[in-house]
Structure formats: structure tokens, C-alpha cells
Chain A
Amino acid sequence: MTHELTRRDAIAALSAVGASLAGCAAPSADDDGQSADGDQSLSDHDRGTLSAAAEVLYPDDVTAVESFVERYIDGRATDRPEHAAGIADAVEYLDEYCQAWYEADFAALSVDERDEALRRMSADEADSVPDGSDVERLRYYVINDLLLALYASPTGGQLVGIENPPGHPGGLASYQRGPQS
């Protein structure tokens, strides 16, 4: 079974991180509009790098990753510019590292190489610290940001058995329901 990340997931994830729909009591998942032009503080390269990272970070059967990440990142950049700056810095570090080891930017590597690069720099052991070392900041602004976006969305939640994960305003029906299968 594949799990397609939808516009609804991006909106849900955005609402969990304070972007775009901030404050709306019950963001309607099917709501249209809002093409998320985004702030220019994140370049196309930054956005492409985050999508490339998400391909490694997200489980294999999650689809439509790129459009999900783009929507998510644009909303982030608009509503939390200082956070976007942190993302851009982390992407820069990631590229520097990959240039040194692989002579290519992170996004240009194969999925396996990206995974290897992250492990080589010990991103899997680093704490997530917004003002920490390069790798700790990468963990905070890129890895945990993307994992938060996924696991606070309905599709990401469903991957692990919860359709209304914390951070997602999924209403009052799901907590009363028993297991679906």
C-alpha cells in the first residue's frame, strides 16, 4: 500500500508548525486556494535539497513527497522567517559537507548516498539543537523539521496507526473510535 501525501497533509503539517493557517480554529482540509507563493528567503535550491532529504527521511511507500515538502516549506518561510534562515544555513552546511566528501551537492547524490552522507556526519546520533553545532542544527532545521511535518500530518500519523496525531486539529471523533481493521 502506498501513502500519498496530499494537500490536506501539507495544510495539516503547516498548521502544526504555525504557518499560513495560523490560528484558524479548524482548518478545512479540502479548502482550496492558497498557492503558497512563499517568501523568497528559501531558494529553489534549498527547496530541492529539502525534498531530496525527505526522500531519505520518509518511509519508502510515501508518495508525492516533493509537492508536500514544497508546500510545507513555503508556508514555513512565510510565517517563520527566522526559521527559514535556519533551514537555509543548514542546507548550506549539508552541501559543503557533501562537496567535501562526494564532490557534489546533497541533492545531486543518489538516495543511498544521501543516507550515507547523513550517517557519516553522525546526524543519526546528533541531538536536535536550534543553536547547536552544524550537525545539531541540521538535525533541528532539516531532519526533525521534515519528520515533524510528516508525523504531525494525517497521512504520516496513519503510517504508525494514528489518523489524528498531536499537532493536527483532527476533530473530536477519532479519539472515540476503536481500531479500524
Chain B
Amino acid sequence: MSDIRTPSDRVDRTPSDRVDRTPSDSADVCVIGAGPAGALIAHRLAAAGHDVVVLEAGPRFDPEDRIEQMDDALRPAHGRPDIWEMGGNRDAFTSSGDRQYPLNHARVKGIGGSTLHWQGMVMRLHERDFGVASREGVGADWPIEYDDLRPYYAAAEDALGVAGASDNPFEPPRETPHPMPAFEPSYSDSIFAEACETLGITTHSVPNARNAEPYDDRSACVGYGTCQPVCPSGAKYDATSHVEKAEDAGARVIDQVPVQRLEHDDSGEAVTAAVYATPDGETHRQEAREFVIAAGGVETPRLLLLSESPQYPDGLANSSGAVGRYFHEHLFAGTGGVIDRETRQHHVGFNTTESHQFYDDPATGTESGVPSADAEADDLGAIKLEFFNYAGPSPVDAALSDGGWGEDLRERVADTYGNHLTVGALVEQTPRRENRVTLDRSTTDDHGNPVPEIHWEIDDRTRRTIERANEIQEAILADLDAEITWQVGPTETGPAAHHMGTTRMGTEPGESVVDDRARTHDLRNCWIAGSSVFPTGGAMNPTLTIAALALRTAEHVERRL
């Protein structure tokens, strides 16, 4: 094989039972969490010559196992959380509020974090997203503008390896093309294109953190079609890539060491140590000059709340009372059906066409078929429309869940597979103070710590926006004479696995947890990376913004070293 590496070609690391998990003597920076946020920061700071330790709660998965994980993922007998070993006492949680929150379907603990499982759609937020409160009177403004993040978006696209095109007229201004050309449209995209053209809906490519060609020593996509939950070829970006780069630059990355709490100095102005547990039952303290918490949008606030002290009885960095609050998500809205021709789904596991036409302007219809929203219901959040390449049951799934066999099975699978279409959407959720992550003191995890409790409800504006997305989806499918067979609306909706808002960024220390650099208002050496700092989340998948912010925060941390 050439110099293109697949996950299993990568260097074998020390077996997990022989890993040295004692603390480093003189760390400049301690990063908590080895998902993309932590990995990018660790890599940048280690490459700049600083002594970096990364503490990761989950295991280092063996890349050799990826194909076996795909095998399991193809079988209905294995639940999605099983593929990356989520669940059990370690990951216990409580869901309250009128919506069940499926937390362990929505995250992964391990080197690489949730990107091990993710889909890999990566788009920039729109300029509008940074000032929703000023423009629309809901949520909160970001303390930074799109222009502040713009160069970091470009750097993030290079880092993750994004295949994209400049064909999106709704996209905010960009300076350089994506590092790779976009994936070509699918056959079913061409079916949707006809309808969208008739209706006056502009469609365009999807930026994918997935190799359209060999990139950064990783293989090009070879079409396994199982991107979510696992890409065996390594074509889909995941943060093990930057963990390896960080290690190559001298960082220490220790797996299976969940941080239990953070300690602070007598003045209460600086974090002094991260206290972590090891698999053999020991507890250690990692001291460092700077601490970056990058534990995801649920565990980051939980860790701050667990770090309560006499001086900070409500949790660390929580003088605002905002830690854990304003939890928000992206909601899924979808409409699916069948048409009387083949739609060629499930050849690949990612999408190649979207429309951001209803993003900044969700209420406005088109002249030729999509009605405008009713005047009394035109206060709406952003909508991102997605045209699926994996609508309906996959043939493997249909064959394995049917029960039968032989010729009869073949006929049923051929009938089931073949002419499905789905228009999906991500919908913006209005952040609300009552939606929050707290500690459930009645239940403890494998280390005796209170588990996170997620209180999650959906407000009327968000419901309306889901209905509006459904209305647009119906118009598209109606133009194709599709028979609509299912719909996910405000009642059936679920989260997109994007945990935002729980340590939000702002200029006012009384209302926000971190400042515009992502440093906590309360502690001078404590930084937060991840979507928990988003004051609002638009309707774009968050990870490109997480990466851009992480690269920007790395520069600020470096200035203090």
C-alpha cells in the first residue's frame, strides 16, 4: 500500500494495562477530554513547544477493530451505543422534562470523542447566528462576530479536511476554497433538483469532513456506507487524527482517566489541579499552569458543578449561575415517502445536497410553490434542509430484521428497498434558561459522583419552526408525486446530538460563564472548548465552529504561557 494510512495501519500504542497513568511533573497545560476540541488545542500547543497532558475519560479504541465494529453496526442485534461501548454505570444519567434525552446515543467517550461516531457534516454558522438576540429578540448575542471567526473557520477546514464547493449562495463570505473538492451529487439529488427547480428552491453541495481524495495521510472515501457510526477506511475525519498529531508533537494523552473534580487556589482565582481516577482505582492530581475543559456539552458543566468548594458552593466558574443552563440542541424534522422510480439509496452513508435557503429567512416562501409562513406564525428559527442519500431501510437491515429467508426474503427486501426519498432538516432551538444540566444527587456513577440530569423541553417557536420545515418538505415531495409514508414533526422530533449552551460565552460575567476568548470569567487559567460555549447554535452542525473556536482559544492560551 502507498503512504495512505487506514485506521489499522496506525502505530500500535502501548497496551492499556501497561500505560503510565501517573501525572506529569511540569505540565504547562492540562486538557480534559480528547474529542476534537481538546485534540486540536493539545496539538496546537504541543506543536508550539509546550508541555501538554490530555486526560480522557474513555478508552483508546484499537483501530484494528473498526471493521468488526462495522460488522456489529450492520446487525440489528447491536444497539448504536454498543458500537462505541457507551452505557452502563460510567455513563448513567437522568432525563427529566417533557422530552426524554437519549444522552448515550448522542456522545462517545474515548480518544477521538464523539467524532468516532459522528456523521461529519461541517458547515460554518451564518453571520446572522452571531446576533440572533439583536435581530430577532430571542436567545443571546455572541460576544464575537462571524468575521472574528472567519480565519479560524478556514484553518479548521484545513485541519479536519473538508470536501466542499463554493456553490452555496447562502453561505457567509469565505476567503479560500475548501481544501478538497466537494463530493459529486448523488443520483437522488438529481431527482430532488428537478422538484426544487420547479419550486424555486436553490440547492447546493454539502461540506463534508470526509476525504473526497487522499488527504492528510488518510484514505479517500471508498463507499462503505456506514459512516455513522463507524468509518472503517479512515476517510471520515475523527479526532484521533489530532490526538496522534499532538502525541507526535510531544503531548501525553492518557486514556481511561475521568477527571473527578478541579481544585483551586486559596484566592479562588486559579485552578491548581485536575483530580482524576485510574482504572486500577488510584486517584492522582495533575497540576498545570493552564487548564482547558473540553469534555463535551454535558460533562463540561457537570465537572464544574462537581468541583464545588466552600468558596464556590454552586460549582466552579459559576458565579453567574449559568453553568448547565441554556442547554439547547438542533431538532430533527423529516418527511419521507416513496416514488414510482428507483432512488438508489444507501450506496454511501453521507449526503451531497442541502439547501440553506430557509436558514436566514425561514418564513419567506417561493413564487412557485412553497407558501410563505402565516403572518401570525412567522417568528421562526433557522432551518437547514438536507436531502438524504440513505432514505428508507438499507437492504442489509431489511434482510436481517425481516425474520424470513430464501426467495421470499429476497422479494420482500427488493420491495422494501428501492424507491424511498427523505428530506430532512435541522431546526434551531431557542435557548431557554430552564433547559439545563444539573447534578442528580440521588444517583451516582461508577466513581460515586452524582450523574448528570438533563432537563429538556421544546418551546413554541422551535415547534413552529419544525412545522415550517415539514411544510417545505411536503411541498418538495408533493412536486415529485411521492406518497408520503412518514413524518417527524414537533411531537416525534428528537435531538441531533449537538450539546450547546451550557457554559455560554458573553461579555457580562453575571450572565455568562466564559468571555469572548472562552476563558472563564471567574478563574484566570481555566478555559472551555466545545459547543457548551455557544450562546445560540443556529441550525448548522456545530463541530466546524467548535474547531474554529478551539484554534482561536489555543492562541489565547498560548499567550499566557
Contacts and interface: CB of A to CB of B under 8 A. Distances in A.
B337 to A, nearest CB: 18
A15 B233 CA distance: 11
Contact of B224 (A57, A115, A168, A174): A168
Interface in B117-148: none
A171 B220 CA distance: 9
Given A17-B71, A25-B6, A58-B406, A179 B341 contact: yes
A166 B346 contact: yes
> Which size bracket describes the interface of B in this complex?
35 or more
B67 A22 contact: yes
B74 A152 contact: yes
A17 B67 contact: yes
B245 to A, nearest CB: 20
Interface stretch (A32-40, A43-51, A92-100, A154-162): A154-162
Interface in B292-346: 341-342, 344, 346
A109 B457 CA distance: 59
Contacts of A17: 67-68, 71
A57 B233 CA distance: 30
A1 interface: no
A128 B404 CA distance: 12
- Majority-rule SS of A interface residues: loop
B407 interface: yes
Contacts of B220: 25, 172
Contacts of A174: 223, 344, 347
Contacts of B394: 165-166
Given A15-B67, A165-B395, A177-B344, A23 B417 contact: no
Contacts of A140: 75, 77
> Which size bracket describes the interface of A in this complex?
35 or more
B351 to A, nearest CB: 11
Contacts of A134: none
Contacts of A22: 8, 64, 67-68
Contact of B223 (A130, A147, A159, A175): A175
Contact of A160 (B76, B183, B184, B413): B413
Nearest to A122: B403
A144 interface: yes
B395 A176 contact: no
Contact of A169 (B233, B409, B413): B233
A129 B68 CA distance: 17
A31 interface: no
B431 interface: no
B496 interface: no
B363 to A, nearest CB: 34
A30 interface: no
Nearest to A136: B77
B403 A124 contact: yes
B202 interface: no
Interface in A121-152: 124-125, 127-130, 140, 143-144, 147-148, 150-152
Given A159-B414, A172-B348, A178-B344, A129 B406 contact: no
Contacts of B68: 17-18, 22, 79-80
A166 B77 contact: no
Which of B4, B7, B64, B406 has the largest count of A CB atoms less than 10 A from its CB?
A: B406
B282 interface: no
Nearest to A172: B223
Contacts of B221: 172
Given A147-B400, A162-B395, A176-B187, A129 B224 contact: no
B377 interface: no
Given A25-B1, A169-B223, A174-B347, A56 B406 contact: yes
A172 B223 CA distance: 6
Which of B184, B219, B344, B397 has the largest count of A CB atoms less than 10 A from its CB?
A: B344
B396 A152 contact: yes
A128 B400 contact: yes
B81 interface: no
B475 to A, nearest CB: 24
Nearest to A171: B223
Nearest to A25: B219
B406 A151 contact: no
B349 interface: yes
Which of A148, A160, A166 has the largest count of B CB atoms less than 10 A from its CB?
A: A166
Contacts of A15: 67
Interface string A1-33: 000000000000001111000111110000000
A164 interface: yes
Interface in B3-31: 4, 6-9
B489 interface: no
B399 interface: yes
A129 B71 CA distance: 14
B192 to A, nearest CB: 14
A22 B230 CA distance: 14
Name the 9 nearest CB pairs between A and B, nearest first. A23-B8, A175-B347, A18-B68, A18-B67, A25-B219, A169-B222, A166-B225, A160-B414, A17-B71
23 contacts: A18-B70, A22-B8, A22-B67, A23-B67, A24-B6, A25-B6, A56-B406, A57-B406, A59-B410, A60-B407, A115-B406, A140-B77, A151-B399, A160-B395, A160-B413, A161-B342, A166-B349, A167-B74, A172-B183, A172-B222, A175-B187, A176-B186, A176-B187
Given A56-B406, A165-B395, 20 more contacts: A18-B65, A22-B8, A22-B68, A23-B6, A23-B63, A24-B6, A57-B406, A128-B76, A140-B75, A151-B395, A160-B414, A162-B347, A162-B417, A164-B225, A167-B224, A168-B224, A170-B223, A171-B222, A175-B348, A178-B190
